[in-house]
Amino acid sequence: MAVLSPKFCQRGPEPSATTHSCSIADSTHLKVTLFGGLESWAGQPEAWTAVGRLAIVSFVPLLFGSSEDKRKSRSSRTCRKSAKVERTANVQRIRLDEEETIGFREDFFQVFEEKDFLWNALKDPLCTEKAVARSFKLVMKWLPEEALFQVLRLFVDARAAPAILISGLALDSDIPPTPALPGDFRLPVSEAWLLGLARCLGVPYGMLGFYSDNARGGLIRDLSPKPGLGGINQPHIDLGLHRDVPACVSGAANEPEGFILLALRGDPQHGALTRICSSQHLVACLEPWQVRALRRSPVQTQCVRTDSLSPYGKPFYAIAGSEEDPRVTFFYIPDHQDFSYRIVSDDAETEAAYQHALNMATDLADKVDLQAGDALLINNARCNHGRTAFEPQLDGSDRWLLKTFVTSGWRQVGAPVSSKRPLVWPNLLVKP
């Protein structure tokens, strides 16, 4: 059974009779189609222009808002929303006033009843769709306009930073101790921020096998220290720079355009730092011969065992895409008891250039110390990310993040302008 945050039951006023649910999915379908009418555009991706998308986003509050919502939007709290924005080559940092975002938490209890929020992406897709849509509406209301504009740029503007750090989000009043294993804890307000921000970017989704049997049905994944269990949650390893599920390596068609990390609790020792390196920034810093070598010849991941060598995944080009919007791919495999790995190439110059580029990217990367109320939105095509090693306390005070993948239906970065991906809304869960 799911465990709710203790404060969830301390409800505000009951929702008024004018509260809207804004769901239009057929309950017999497993996929989320929050704006189902757009499915008819699947074969006409050119219709999904930046202007059209922004127009739809702009009109959502009008479509879904009641007269009571409009009255609240004129309140003094809503009118004084502000954001402080700073920019580096790798990360756009947006700091909100947490005293102002408390309104998000207050409104949450006007919109959601407990039965509405205990959604499970596998077992009840219709309830999940309602939760995503309502979360989206709240984020649209409480995110300052300047911050919202930066979020909307993330996937569509090559000049935008490849990652956005939003700080100052008011989370659930009580956050339970960090779980030692992925559990059934539900953090309703925090999950609403995560799903709402994901819906601003596109559609949130999960991958089968990533804890899809928990209370959230795999749509949201817990990231917390799990020593000895393997995988990316081993705190003692330094996670090398990489892109998540890169199609050029796996050959699969489920590479996420981006993902979001929401910190429920940061590392109390401030040792767990998320690295972000922009592909544009890195390529601009490399020598021209290194860029040519990484575009000219592919590299290959190779597993090294005691008595054998074997390839892992497909050969891939470390730099692809256009000169104006390059896509750099680094690949990383967490520590494994049976093998180590290395990146090799038939072209010695390319192999040397890859290692140099990886070292340079690590030096150039921004280090983000995710703490409670921070949301990190990452464009998976325009940057590589990693994490420093840290020492877990294993006493309930450790770093705890929530993660969801995002797809938007936009064309792949680096593809010719005329080559666009069809606008197909994904299932909530796909195979990794």
Question: How far are the Cα atoms of 38, 55, 134, 194, 232 from residue 61, in angstroms, in the given order?
Answer: 18, 11, 11, 19, 38
Mean pLDDT of the chain: 81
Q: Which of 179-188, 229-238, 338-347, 354-363 has the highest mean pLDDT?
A: 354-363
Query: What band does 2 get if pLDDT is binned at 50, 70 and 90?
Result: low
Q: Which domains does the chain have, with CATH numbers?
A: 3-238+250-268+371-381+391-430 (3.60.130)
Mean pLDDT of 84-109: 94
Q: How many CA atoms lie within 13 A of 58 on its CB side?
A: 8
Q: Enter the tokens of residue 10.
A: 């301390």
Predicted structure pTM score: 0.80
Task: Please say whether the beta carbons of 374 and 169 come within 8 A.
Answer: yes
Q: Which residue has the tokens 């494994």?
A: 336
pLDDT score at 226: 85
> Could you give the dihedral angle defined by the CA atoms of residues 36, 37, 40 and 42, in that order, rounded to the nearest 10 degrees?
-50
Q: Is the pLDDT of residue 183 over 90?
A: no
How far is the C-alpha of 153 from the C-alpha of 160, rounded, in Å?
6
Query: What band does 41 get if pLDDT is binned at 50, 70 and 90?
Result: very low
How far is the C-alpha of 212 from the C-alpha of 203, rounded, in Å?
17
pLDDT score at 288: 98
pLDDT score at 429: 54
pLDDT score at 336: 78
Q: Enter the tokens of residue 180.
A: 């030692």
Which residues make Cβ contacts (< 8 Å) with residue 290, sequence separation at least 6? 353, 356, 357
Amino acid at 334: P
In tens, the pLDDT along 326-347 reads 999 999 988 777 888 999 999 9
Q: At 109, phi and psi to the nearest 5?
A: -75, -10
Which run of H or of E encompasses 278?
A: strand 274-278
Query: What band does 321 get if pLDDT is binned at 50, 70 and 90?
Result: very high
Mean pLDDT of 241-248: 96
Q: Enter the tokens of residue 37.
A: 């009418």
In tens, the pLDDT along 189-206 reads 999 999 999 999 999 998
Residue bearing the bigger pLDDT, 38 or 367: 367
Q: Is the pLDDT of residue 31 over 70?
A: no
Query: What band does 4 get if pLDDT is binned at 50, 70 and 90?
Result: low
For 331-334, which contacts have Cβ atoms below 8 Å and span 24 or more sequence positions? 331/242, 331/243, 331/246, 331/249, 331/301, 332/239, 332/240, 332/241, 332/242, 332/386, 333/301, 333/303, 334/230, 334/231, 334/232, 334/234, 334/237, 334/239
3-state secondary structure at position 58: helix
Q: Is the pLDDT of residue 29 over 50?
A: no
Indicate the burial class of 429 (C-beta count within 10 angstroms; 0-12, 13-18, 19 or more).
buried
Mean pLDDT of 296-311: 94
Which residues make Cβ contacts (< 8 Å) with residue 320, sequence separation at least 6? 248, 295, 326, 327, 329, 414
Query: What band does 211 get if pLDDT is binned at 50, 70 and 90?
Result: low
